Amino acid sequence: MRIKFSKYHGAGNDFIMIDNREDDRRIWNALTPETIQVMCERHFGIGADGVILAVKSNDPDTPYSMGYFNADGTPAEMCGNGLRCLVRFLDHLGEPVREMDQFNILTGAGPIKCRIIPDQTIQVEMPVPSFDPRDAKIDADYDAIPMTITVPGIPDELYGTPVGVGNPHFVLYNNEMWEGDLIHELGSRIAIYEDIFPEGVNVGFARKEAPDTIALVVWERGVGPTLACGSGAIAAVGAGVAQDKFPFDEKIAVRMPGGTVFVTIHDGWSKAVMEGDAVHVFDGEFDTEEQ
């Protein structure tokens, strides 16, 4: 089966976008985990951090939905940068999203409010950070934020914050810049440490650079280190607000290797908003029979 696709990125977090507005089951069936792995492979495939399907709905409250798969073929609840790319993709497909004041996209984490604001930046109202163990999807008792964990193969205790943002995150703040080898060592072990994170976890390495700026690198489960992570940006700012590093209602710049997004956590944890761009890269076709 030949599948048409478009490549988009949000702050360097790149995705293979597939127009499945008619919810064609042949497309869903063709996207096996093995096919997705080949598509996302950067040397022999298209290359991407994940695959996103755009689907239309008859529900006026949620006119669109998002199917999201990590680069290893596993489905995931949602992706903040991917949502921005999906909004831009829907706009380029001719959907009237630019004319809507606001619209919902249904994800595995529930409906997400989105809109294109006047400067053409895309604004996404993300799930509010939660520190409930069930939302962070951890299998451990803790009563403090942050918490200390011990991971096999890592000699030192790790001091971080579990955060649920529709998907699970573990955010570690450090006064020094995290180095690549250390990120690889810690991220690869924490992300799959099933004794505490039975469903895996996205690991955020954060550093407060200024009163309104964070430097962040995220090791995404099923992907590895990415140039950017939208839900990771929300989790990092949320963990910072919970630790009094940042105030409510202030726009925080989250500087990631691929670019910067802006996050605001509103007073009383009432909502979490992310702003940033999404860019079309190229279009093509992928033959699932010629893997």
Q: CA 239, 245, 248 angle in degrees (round to 5)? A: 80
CA distance 161 to 174: 12
Active-site residue flag, 85: no
- The one catalytic residue in 40, 85, 114, 229 is 229
Active-site residue flag, 229: yes
Beta strands in 154-239 (DSSP E): 158-164, 168-173, 202-210, 213-220, 224-226
CA distance 249 to 246: 9
Tell me which residue of 94, 50, 91 sits closest to 73, measured CA to CA: 50
For residue 283, CA distances in Å to 15, 157, 197 come to: 12, 46, 37
- The one catalytic residue in 40, 79, 85, 114 is 79
The tokens of 79 are what? 């992706």
Task: Give the amino acid at 120.
Answer: Q
For residue 127, CA distances in Å to 73, 179, 252 come to: 24, 29, 17
For residue 219, CA distances in Å to 117, 123, 223 come to: 30, 24, 7
The phi and psi torsions of 112 (rounded to 5 degrees) equal: -120, 130
| Catalytic positions | 79, 229
